[in-house]
Amino acid sequence: MTDLHQLWFALDARLSALLQNLPWMPQADRDAIRDYIDHNEFGLALELLINTVADLGQSLPDDQHLEVAELAGLMGMPASVLQPLKPSK
């Protein structure tokens, strides 16, 4: 298995776990994010997750915020992608 395949498996597992731990998110949004994950569009899935959290006026606990930041880093996304997220309460 190549490093790229290992990265895909890790991104799939970590994004799926993160999504599962957001039960307050509307099902339609969860389904859209899941569809991106299922099609290996991990960057789009993470961006949609971030924007959905922000649009709903929610904040993520510190551990989930850190996970989002780590996932963005793994995908080479700029730190500015995290800007829509509110600090946790």
Helix (H) or strand (E) holding 20: helix 3-20
Question: Long-range contacts: 70-75, Cβ < 8 Å, 24+?
Answer: 71/11, 71/14, 71/15, 71/18, 71/42, 71/46, 72/46, 74/7, 74/10, 74/11, 75/11, 75/42, 75/43, 75/46
Q: Which residues of the chain have pLDDT under 70?
A: 1, 89
Question: Is-contact 67 40, C-beta < 8 A?
Answer: no
- Type of residue at 29: D
Kindly state the tokens that stand for 78.
Answer: 């700029």
Tens of pLDDT, residues 43-57: 999 999 999 999 999
pTM for this predicted structure: 0.93
